[in-house]
Amino acid sequence: MDMHSSQTWQKVGAAGILTVDLAALRRNYRRIADMVAPSQAGAVVKANAYGLGAEHVAQALFAEGCRTFFVAEYGEAVALRARLSRSAEIVVLNGLQPGAEADCAQRGIIPVLNSLEQTARWRSIATLCSDGLPALLQVDTGMARLGMSHAEAASLAANPGMLAGIRLRYIMSHLGCADETEHPHNHAQAQEMQRISALFPTIPLSFGNSGGSFLGEAFRGALVRPGIALYGGRSTDRPGDTVEPVVRVEGAIIQTRLVDDGTAVGYSASHTTTGKRRLATVSLGYADGILRALSNRGAFYAGAQRLPIVGRVSMDSTIIDITDLEGEDLKLGSLVEFIGPHQSLEAVAAWADTISWEVLTSLGARYQRHYI
């Protein structure tokens, strides 16, 4: 990925450069698909593939053999449907929106049915189609977020007419603690999933996210739904469960200055210099995912040199202290690394006291995105 480090920001004209290594993405998919076989691996590409670009990501994963793509919102499914081969299936996790039924059926988008009410609305369209319509059925096994209760699932199993015309592809559920491998809630959810599965003995399961895929067979089902691990994020607390980095994020220097001892830096004057310092302003701010929690604690990198963030992160810029930089100085347009070989996605998340999922999905729309 070093090919872009010589690139200057003037040529690009964007806030910064976001480089997505599609080959690494494909290797991460391959690693997970091989690990979970004979289960299948889908891919979660919601929120614009966690900010990386849903179309590019989905096409690369399709080329690697992925055939099931999960989005959160119906609008995301419509946008992706127009860009992907008909042999790719697109599933909407957040359920069947009222009013979307006919459009959803006509476009061949597959809803997750999260309630009896959604099931009834899908059935009323499905019974009009000679071949019926496909759907996933989500059951809540311990998150209280989306999906029907055990009792509701049992009522469907006992009254198959409520599913008339609906081809149930998978019974799905989502793990709430899969990133903590020893968390007892994982086993409680797996047991509940087995009880739900017993209600629908002929329907395969879709269970694990990235963390669940690594946790083991009991947490996978026939189809896993990895997201973050495809994009290079750590999904569990076990050292061996690693994937390759996929994302590099760089900003450009837009001004440098020498300041005296006692200079107030940034909004709220939350930092004051000690001694003469050399400061640089970077073209990325919290609107570009340089989370405000990184004020006075995070850093950018020039090569291996850590350049600490001083003062508050602004909306469109961030001030860094470059006094300790050895060798060549930073000048207008020089690129500095936010995520890359010297500062991992996890390191940024840890400094910001958050998770890699939030760091990636906060990156925003102002980057020039490069796909290599």
Ligand X SMILES: *Cc1c(COP(=O)(O)O)cnc(C)c1O
The catalytic site residues sit at: 46, 267
Between CA 102 and CA 16 the distance in angstroms is: 41
Q: What are the structure tokens assigned to 137, written together?
A: 């059925």
Which positions lie near ligand X, rule CB under 6 A?
A: 44, 46, 93, 174, 209-211, 225-229, 235, 357
Nearest distance from C-beta of residue 263 to ligand X, angstroms? 42
For ligand X, the closer CB: 283 or 361: 361
**Neighbouring residues of 200: CB distance < 8 A, sequence distance ≥ 6:** 137, 153, 157, 168, 171
Q: What is the DSSP string of 186-253?
A: HHHHHHHHHHHHHHSTTS-EE---HHHHHH-GGGTBSEE---TTTTT---SS-TT------EEEEEEE
Cβ(335)–Cβ(17) under 8 Å?
A: yes
For ligand X, the closer CB: 44 or 54: 44
Nearest distance from C-beta of residue 175 to ligand X, angstroms? 8
For ligand X, the closer CB: 17 or 93: 93
Nearest distance from C-beta of residue 70 to ligand X, angstroms? 6
Nearest distance from C-beta of residue 4 to ligand X, angstroms? 26
Between CA 128 and CA 236 the distance in angstroms is: 45
Percent helix, strand and coil across the chain, each to the nearest 5: 35, 25, 45
Residue nearest to ligand X (CB): 227
